[in-house]
Structure 1
Amino acid sequence: MCGSTPRYLALLIAFSFPAAADDSIERFEVMGDQAVQHHSAQSVEQLLKQMGVDFSAAGGVSALPIINGMMGDRIKVLIDGNDITAACANQMNPPLSYISANQISMAQVIAGVSPVSAGGDNTAGVISVAASQPLFAEDETLSWQQGYLSSQYRSVNDAMAIGAGARVASKQWLLDYRGSFEDANSYQDGNGDKVIDTLYRRQNHTLNGAWRDEQQVISVKLTHQYIPFQGFANQYMDMTNNRSYGVNLDYQRDFSVGELQAKLNWHGVSHEMGFFSSEKTGMMPMKTDADDYSYDLRWRQPLLQDGTLLVGHEYHQFTIDDIWPAVAGSMMMGPNDYININNGQRQRVALFAELEKPLSQRLWASAGVRYEQVTTDTDKVQSYSSMGMMGMPNVDYQASQAFNAAERKVTDNLWDAVLQLRYQLDEMQQLELGLARKNRAPNLYERYSWGRGVMASTMIGWFGDGNGYVGDINLSPETAYTASVQYSVNHSHWQFSSSFWYSRVQDYIDAEVIGSFNRSGLAGGERNLLQFSNLDAVLYGSTLNAVVMLTEGEFGEFSLAGKLSSTVGERDDDNQPLYQISPVQTELALEHQLGSVKSRLGWQFVGSKKRLDSNRLENPTASYHLLNFSSELNLANLSIRLAVDNLLDEYYQMPLGGVSLAEYRADNSQGFQQLAGQGRSFNLGVSYQF
């Protein structure tokens, strides 16, 4: 456990200084219809990064969020309050890919100790984003209320994004539409070289209709997404189609004794992987069809002395078929279809209760318990062929026979418990404490990926590391015991916050080496064959936020904002680092506001990544500095944003970027190089409301 000096310095500073609770990742929320103006010129990833979320690189709109050093399914991501499951062996269609920044009216990030009512089946925290919320008018007649048009251009990849929205409403009725279209080429790095296979195209649409009276609100939301292509530089495959539809019903009613909320949701997706451009070529079709069905029932009951009891019941059913069609004339990919997951099912049934109550004028408490039963199952599978090659047995056929003979249905019973305390030290100072026991059951690919051959196993995995992965039916659920503490102080001209969290995770789902391969036969071409496995792990870290007003007067307001964050993650048995743990990060920004113009000059430092996961052959990365500038003009109906990202055009490799498999396929003599970040980009964003 001998970390570097900067890491321990970050922990020391975090305990030595206070911070504003509103700026902490522990609970960060953005709300309001006006958010359209501010988010139209950025991506969902950029928005959530400002709220303290890291991202593991993937496609242009499919990066996987990381909170407290934990990635992917360890974070509960809710879209409009509903679960959407990544329906892909590489998680190319994660929940956040189904919503654009211009569609978001509310975003919330709760790290670590999240209330049981915020969602179960997670160990890292909750990200909740919502598209247009019902916003009615005061007139009895249905009439035009608001519309907007937005656009953004980024020079680094010639990306163009456009968005549009319209709302008509009365006192009882509402109809709201929001849509977006994005198109981007592959971006350039700081050396001016193209980072191949990072191009994409996407469109998202939501249509929300609602009705209300004095006691109740009923809303129906329709969603559609179409991604004809999206490059994944750190995966062996690309996305060649992702088409989804969704229906979300929401009912809320106020009673004299409490409040009822009910949600019903369906989301279906047809997903395909393959190759679509000369930047990464090949022939291997993969098709996935999946559906999410869920409902959520909640009753909120006021109690005496300002207390509130919330009880709820949730049901979620995810079904998936993952088939790799045979390729005519191919000896390796035929004559049969490869059936990777056949009628896969993951069912979650949950009950929870949560009590919130002020214990005194200064002390507030929240306590909750949640029970969740998770059942997974799948039918029999099939390999491309039963025949071996060159006298060697067909390991995929043998694996399919063993898999089909095994008992595949598994039921996990999960218990979560959360306690949160908030103490108001005085008018300016606040102390928060959180304790939680949280659980996550394995996903279907962790449990049921059965192929043992190099080609089959390298199609599994959302880590961008080039290794191959094999599932394990007998995986146990993860159980995380987390403690967090946050101290904040808020003065009129300065604010500070410091937070620290610690998680001990039993049965953390990691990966152990069961083999290796080298397709190129060259030095540096080695990769590992890994099997998902349980072990114990420890993760901890801290965050410091600070804002100080420098001057204010006729030349405007000048302020200085800073942030320092550090994360450590390691296996319990040998203290070896976990995969994709972010190095120390520091941000410092000078901000200026004069009337309707707000400008920002920001400096970001990311430390060198030297603590590496040897099982995944993780690459080291050097430290780097980025300088970013932005200026935004906000008028009554018009918002214009000019920005220059990576102002000095610095070349850097992303510590959470994985390896560039696209570059490796183009030239394998250099081995598996870390994915490079974006070079200088001149950006223009415009949003107009009418």
Structure 2
Amino acid sequence: MKLPLSFVSVSILSALFPLATFADDSAFEVIEVTGQHQRNYSAVTPESASPKTDISGLLSNLPGATVNGNGPLSGIAQYRGLYGDKVNTQVNGTTLSSAGPNAMDTPLSYASLILTERLEMTRAIAPVLAGANTIGGSVQVIESQASFDQASAKLAAQYQGNGNRSHIGGKANLGTEQHAVLVYAETLNGNDNMTTGDNRSVSPTTYNKAMAGGQYRYNLAEDAGRSESIAIGYQHLETTDAGTPALPMDIDFIRTDRVKVEGQHDINSWSLNWHLAYSDARHGMDNFSERSKPATKSARYNNADSQSYDALISLTKNAWNVGFDAQLSEHQSVITDPTNPMFNVDNFNNVSDNTFSAFAQWQQDVNRWNWQVGARVKHYQTNADEVSHSMAGSMAPINMLMTQFNYSDRSQSQTGVDIVINGRYTQTHELSWVVGLARKQDSASYQQRYLWVPMQSTGGLADGHTYVGDIDLNLETAYQIEVGSDYQTDDLTISPRVFFHRINDYIQGVAATDQTVIMAAAMMGDDNPMQFANVDAQLFGMDISGSYSINDHFNVNMIASYVHGERRDIDDNLYRISPANFNLGINYSHNNWTARIETRAVAAQDKVSETQLEQTTAGYALVNLLVSYDASNWLVKAGIDNVLDTDYQDHLAAYNRVMSSDLAAGERMSGSGLNAWITGEYRF
């Protein structure tokens, strides 16, 4: 698990050095060697990119990374073809569960735009310190922390013309030698629907979101050479009336309170880092408030909530880092019909999903090599209470599925082991080589285990199918290899990576064969229901980042990514895999002025999942412009995204689920048309 910056900075032995700057709107990648615990990561700051309504939008600025977009506030991280729960996603060092069974409140949606300093993506096989479930890599949002001996504040605002979207936020830090307080608040509004390049309205894509919180930190250090403190932080989030057009329902409300207590201590020659975090999330969604409901379709309202804990104890000494962590969560989801008080369905009933793990990592220089070797043992415990359905008495297939589930052994206990070896060989001052090997395991999500009646509560798959789960799913087991290099001179940097993942018992949807499931789904209008199952898969590809300085004022930079995912048990491709893409930008800087023109090209995606009836998409290219002026204490930035107003379909945005809109039902979601924007901030 990644360590807070205040703790890591105690043992800095090597400074940061850039490898590739400006992946997209000044995105940057760095290799960090911190103490003897090296982290290989790409990072991007909100200030360096065009305005985003959700932190997940920054992912497309990083090599190998992108986002599955189900709505303006519901972006799911994808890295090298893996996404959802397969990607370890942390905000401020913690992993806390979402309330929504369809991932409307994704982990990244809890990150504050005003508070976020940068978004990091591990550019390698994620080490065991990154977290418990890292088959698909690791994403970390680094947020501002309350700082001692500092008084500062920042006000920021942005406006986007396409969708009439705005953001206003502020944060302030007041710190003495002993005490530090950080407070922040922000509001985000999307007042109109987004429009496409051919001037069609994507409905509903409006939203209202507000966040507020703070942190208090107390200094325990007896001298300036030590970093010891304890802190408590709190966040309240409220989202209302937000659209998710790729899903069968929209957000009525999300209300979440999060608390985190943490500490850093020096104990003899050991450094101790710990935290305990708690989240209480409540979520309401429906199919009639934000979208037009056909008269033939019943009204549905889903009330969901979750409570979750995240705990960590980590000890560091010299080359070693050892520790223990745990993630515990409980989920409930009940579906009702506001026009029929008798209708009631237990979507998920008191589902518990707990992970306990212990890890150890050793990192040391051996001649020209730097080796990082780690292991993590994980124990998964899941369970669910009995369910009910108000229509079980009149529909025999639903009654049979309910009875089978309630009489099954729903308690599951599994143990997995991760082993990771990462090496870096320094050949010259300019050139180094990297290699990584890993064996990793991951458990099924609670939706994949306990979805008992055909529904679309699938953690945001957004493929339009109803699914049922399988309580007895095996752990996914991945064998991973990565090779690459980093080359850097005064003018040129280039960093290619090639990877291969062979995954046994990969979990995805397959056509349901249970006749009871098929009959129950047919009653709800789906003739092709799916069931989560273990299959065999593999993914391979490459990503590369680079930059070249032409002179003191101009530089060129690029990122490119390619991944292919396929089944090994049958001749088919994996679902929702990012198409090959390429970003090329020319940047100008002089005194306080910067400017950028870039092209983002995305290839056609015809390697699609036949099992899930996935549609192909055509390739496209977008041109974006940006100019900014950064003074000592204020910044103004303006730009135009999609300058040519190109009409295109985003392969990862799935399909339109809204009737009576400009987009046909079942049509691939179109991307945003021309979007002029302006942002500003004042620092004092």
Please give the TM-score of this superposition, normalised by the length of structure 1. Answer: 0.88
1:580 maps onto 2:612 in alignment? no
Q: Secondary structure at the match of 1:137?
A: coil
3-state SS in 2 of match to 1:582: coil
Superposition pairs of residues 192-341 of structure 1, within 5 angstroms: 192-214=199-221, 216-275=228-287, 277=289, 279-281=291-293, 283-302=299-318, 308-329=319-340, 335-341=342-348
Give the direction of change, closer, same or farther, for the CA distance of 1:163–1:276 in structure 2 (3 Å limit). farther
Q: Residue 528 of structure 1 contacts residue 615 of structure 1 at CA under 8 Å; is this kept in 2? A: no
Secondary structure at 1:619 match in 2: coil
Match of 2:446 in 1: 444
Other structure's SS at 1:73 match: helix
Correspondent of 1:427 among 423, 426, 429: 429
Q: Tell me what 2:36 maps to.
A: none
The within-5 A match list for 1:65-464 is 65-111=77-123, 113-137=125-149, 145-184=151-190, 185-214=192-221, 216-275=228-287, 277=289, 279-281=291-293, 283-302=299-318, 308-329=319-340, 335-360=342-367, 362-388=368-394, 393-452=395-454, 457-464=455-462
1:40 to partner: Cα distance: 9.1
- 2:41 corresponds to which letter in structure 1? F
Matched AA of 2:529: L
Distance 1:265 1:196 in 2: 36
Partner of 2:668: 674
Which of 464, 467, 488 aligns to 2:465? It is: 467
Tell me the amino acid that sits aligned with residue 437 of structure 2: L
Look up the match of 2:61.
50
- The secondary structure found in structure 1 opposite 2:403 is helix
Residue 497 of structure 1 aligns with which residue? 495
Shift of 1:658: 0.6
Q: Match of 1:674, as an amino acid?
A: R
d(CA) in 2 for partners of 1:671, 1:220: 47
CA distance in 1 between partners of 2:597 and 2:73 (Å): 26
Which among 610, 613, 616 is matched to residue 609 of structure 2? 613
Using the alignment, how far apart are the partners of 1:263 and 1:40 within structure 2? 33
Q: Check conservation: 1:527, 1:617, Cα contact below 8 A.
A: no
Letter in 2 for 1:182: L
Find the residue that maps to 1:335 and give its secondary structure.
strand
Does the 8 Å contact 2:126/2:137 carry over to 1?
yes
CA distance in 1, matches of 2:381, 2:198: 50
Relative to structure 1, the CA distance from residue 517 to residue 577 in structure 2 (aligned partners, 3 Å threshold; closer, same or farther) is farther
Give how far 1:559 is off.
1.0
Aligned to 2:598: 602
Distance in 1 between residues matched to 2:282 and 2:555, nearest whole Å: 48
Task: Indicate if the aligned counterparts of 2:49 and 2:58 stay in contact, CA closer than 8 A.
Answer: yes
Cα separation, partners in 2 of 1:296 and 1:48, compared to 1, 3 Å: same
Structure 1: distance between partners of 2:606 and 2:520: 24
Task: Classify 1:473/1:546 alpha carbon distance in 2 versus 1 (closer, same or farther; 3 Å).
Answer: same
Matched residues in 1 for 2:410 and 2:365: separation? Answer: 47
1:315 Cα deviation from its structure 2 partner: 1.7
- Where do 5+ consecutive residues of structure 1 fail to align? 1-18, 139-144, 303-307
Structure 1 SS opposite 2:653: coil
Q: How large is the RMSD of aligned CA atoms in angstroms?
A: 2.3
CA distance in 2, matches of 1:399, 1:470: 10
Q: Is the 8 A contact 2:302 2:334 kept in 1?
A: yes
CA distance in 2, matches of 1:357, 1:206: 40
Matched, 1:537 2:540: no
**Between 201-210 and 320-329, the greater mean CA deviation after superposition:** 320-329
Distance in 2 (alpha carbons) for counterparts of 1:278 and 1:340: 22
Does the 8 A contact of 1:23 with 1:497 survive in 2?
no
Q: Distance in 2 between matches of 1:126 and 1:511?
A: 24
* 2:571 corresponds to 1:564: no
Aligned residues: 636
SS in 1 for 2:342: coil
Equivalent position of 1:10 in the other structure: none
Tell me how far apart the structure 2 counterparts of residues 130 and 86 of structure 1 sit (CA, whole Å).
19
Q: Is the 8 Å Cα contact of residues 123 and 480 (structure 1) preserved in structure 2?
A: yes
Q: Distance in 2 between matches of 1:541 and 1:458?
A: 30
Taking structure 1 as reference, are residues 39 and 88 closer, same or farther at Cα in structure 2, changes over 3 Å only?
same
Q: Could you say if the C-alpha distance between residues 339 and 518 of structure 1 is closer, same or farther in structure 2, counting changes exceeding 3 Å?
A: closer
Alpha-carbon deviations, 1:82-113, whole Å to 9, x = none?
Answer: 11123222111111001122211243211451
**Deviation of residue 274 (structure 1)?**
0.7
Task: Tell me whether 1:484 sits opposite 2:482 in the alignment.
Answer: yes
Contact 2:30 2:43 in 1 (8 A): no
**Residues 379 and 279 of structure 1, relative CA distance in 2, 3 Å threshold:** closer
Deviation (angstroms), 1:271: 0.7
* Offset of residue 39 of structure 1: 6.5
Q: What percentage of aligned pairs have identical amino acids?
A: 23
Deviation digits for residues 242-271 of structure 1, max 9, x if unmatched?
000011001110133110111011011011
Which deviates further from its counterpart, 35-44 or 565-574?
A: 35-44
**Structure 1 residue 280: Cα displacement:** 3.3
Any idea what SS the aligned residue of 2:108 has?
A: helix
Secondary structure, counterpart of 1:574 in structure 2? coil
**Aligned in 2, Cα 1:36/1:328: closer, same or farther, shift over 3 Å?**
closer
Query: Does the residue aligned with 2:377 lie in a helix, a strand or coil?
Result: strand
1:648 CA displacement = 0.1
Task: Give, in whole Å, the separation in 2 of the partners of 1:631 and 1:666.
Answer: 35
Match of 1:653 in 2: 649
- In 2, distance between residues paired with 1:483 and 1:296? 28
**Preserved contact between residue 517 and residue 528 of structure 1 (Cα < 8 Å):** no
Distance in 1 (CA, whole Å) between partners of 2:301 and 2:592 is 52
Report the CA distance between 1:120 and its aligned residue.
Answer: 1.2
Partner of 1:5: none
Amino acid at match of 2:613: L
CA contact (8 A) 2:449 2:470 kept: yes
- State the Cα distance separating 1:477 from its structure 2 match: 1.3
Asked whether the 8 Å contact 1:512–1:530 carries over to 2, the reply is: yes
Gaps of 5+ in 2: 1-18, 22-27, 32-38
Which amino acid in the other structure matches residue 374 of structure 1?
Y
Q: CA deviation digits over 1:626-670, x for unaligned, max 9?
A: 0001112111111111010000000000111111011x45589x5
Read off the aligned partner of 1:313 and give its amino acid letter.
F
CA distance in structure 1 between the aligned counterparts of 2:409 and 2:637, rounded to whole angstroms: 57
Note if contact 1:236-1:459 (Cα within 8 Å) is conserved in structure 2.
Answer: no
Residue number in structure 2 paired with 1:15: none
Give distance in 1, aligned partners of 2:98 and 2:450. Answer: 15
Distance 1:644 1:348, change over 3 A: same
8 Å CA contact retained: 1:518, 1:527: no
Deviation string, structure 1 residues 466-507 (Cα, Å, up to 9, x no partner): 111111101111111111112111010111111111100110
Equivalent residue of 1:573, what SS?
coil
Paired residues of 1:528 and 1:616 also in contact (CA < 8 A): no
Is this contact kept in 2: 1:39–1:101, CA < 8 A?
no
1:234 Cα deviation from its structure 2 partner: 0.7
Going from structure 1 to structure 2, the CA distance change for 1:643 and 1:28 (only over 3 Å counts) comes to farther
One-letter amino acid of the counterpart of residue 48, structure 1: L
- Residue 366 of structure 1 and its aligned partner are, at CA, apart by 0.7
Work out whether 1:23 is the aligned partner of 2:34: no
Give, as a single letter, the amino acid of the residue that structure 2 aligns with 1:45. Answer: S
Counterpart AA for 1:497: S
1:336 positional shift: 4.8
